[in-house]
Amino acid sequence: MNQELHKLLIQQREEERFHIPLEKEFQFYRTIAQGDLSVLQGEMMVDPTEGLGTLSQHPLRNQKYHLIILTAMITRFCIEEGLPHEEGYTMSDFYIQQIDLAADARTLSQIKREVITEFTKTMHDLNRRRPASLPVIRAMDYIDQHLTSPLTVQEIADAVSCHPDYLSRLFKKETGLSVSRFLLEQKCHSARYMLENSNATCTEIAAFLGFSSCSHFIARFRNMVGMTPEAYRQSKIRNAFNGYHDIP
């Protein structure tokens, strides 16, 4: 093992193949975790694996391995900066499954751009309304942990030991949203994910996310997203179908 490793190191030096400096790589992850949109115009948005090492002699498999590592590292840096665990790991699982299914380098390049874009934008939105006070932080955590329940402002306030009026004022001041609006945004975010990645019906999604009825879910979703859940699902199906036919 040591002899093989020594031989490989000598070969890399002779061929002048060196890995990307660790600080440069980590700075890239930190930039995404900070929600800095300038990263979307950076050199790491392109595909080459130069400087990343060789993990497989098979070019496509090598690219997949590197992209899986990239996705995992971005996820952990973002979670460390405040991205909810379940949201982060679910995003990671989704993209790694897409990487596993990819059949060509062009598809992997598209997935890489999407991973970087979606994590960066998610962190940008999160950081833009990051709260400062403990009651608001706890309220947001409580909402995240009980998103499938029919929550009320009173229940959330009780859970964080605050008067509901005080919590409402503080929440609005720090996030720019009312507690109810934030709760609805989070539910609709989860609903969009389910519409895109499952065959669950509107009735099933409404029940799962704690809406009082299917019609109530449809009305609130349309108000938030600008279209009905079914129209949203169909639009995503059309986009995916068109994207598939764009791949040679």
In angstroms, the CA 137 to CA 133 distance is 6
Q: What count of other Cβ atoms lies within 10 Å of the Cβ of residue 41?
A: 7
Query: Is 245 a residue whose pLDDT tops 50?
Result: no
pLDDT at 174: 86
Q: Are 126 and 82 in contact (CB under 8 A)?
A: yes
Whether 12 is in a domain gets the answer no
pLDDT at 206: 94
Same domain, 65 and 146: no
Same domain, 204 and 112: no
**In which domain, by residue range, is 190 found?**
134-246
Lowest mean pLDDT across 99-103, 183-187, 238-242: 238-242
Amino acid at 208: F
Same domain, 156 and 141: yes
pLDDT at 193: 86
Same domain, 167 and 101: no
CA 195 to chain CA centroid, nearest Å:
16
Q: Comparing C-alpha atoms, which of 73, 155, 158 is closest to residue 119?
A: 73
pLDDT bracket for residue 243 (50, 70, 90): very low
Last residue of a domain, one of 128, 145, 167: 128
Query: Is 47 a residue whose pLDDT tops 60?
Result: no
Last residue of a domain, one of 73, 93, 128: 128
Same domain, 29 and 115: yes
pTM higher than 0.85 for the full model?
Answer: no
pLDDT at 80: 85
Last residue of a domain, one of 103, 128, 153: 128
Phi/psi zone of residue 203: left (φ > 0), alpha (ψ -120 to 50 degrees), beta? alpha
The two tokens of residue 187 are 């539910």
In angstroms, the CA 226 to CA 32 distance is 29
pLDDT at 27: 86
Q: Comparing C-alpha atoms, which of 51, 46, 66, 47 is closest to residue 16?
A: 51
pLDDT digits over 14-42, tens only?
554 445 566 777 888 899 998 888 888 76
Same domain, 196 and 158: yes
Same domain, 77 and 112: yes
Query: Is 4 a residue whose pLDDT tops 70?
Result: no
Whether 58 is in a domain gets the answer yes
Write down the residue that tokens 């929600």 correspond to: 35
Same domain, 146 and 95: no
In angstroms, the CA 196 to CA 101 distance is 17
Whether 188 is in a domain gets the answer yes
Average pLDDT over residues 121-142: 84
Higher pLDDT, 53 or 88: 88
In angstroms, the CA 139 to CA 19 distance is 43
Same domain, 85 and 104: yes
Q: Are 126 and 79 in contact (CB under 8 A)?
A: no
Same domain, 98 and 179: no
In angstroms, the CA 77 to CA 33 distance is 6
Q: Comparing C-alpha atoms, which of 62, 170, 144 is closest to residue 108?
A: 62
Whether 9 is in a domain gets the answer no
Quote the DSSP letter at residue 231: H
Whether 2 is in a domain gets the answer no
How many domains does the structure of the chain reveal? Answer: 2
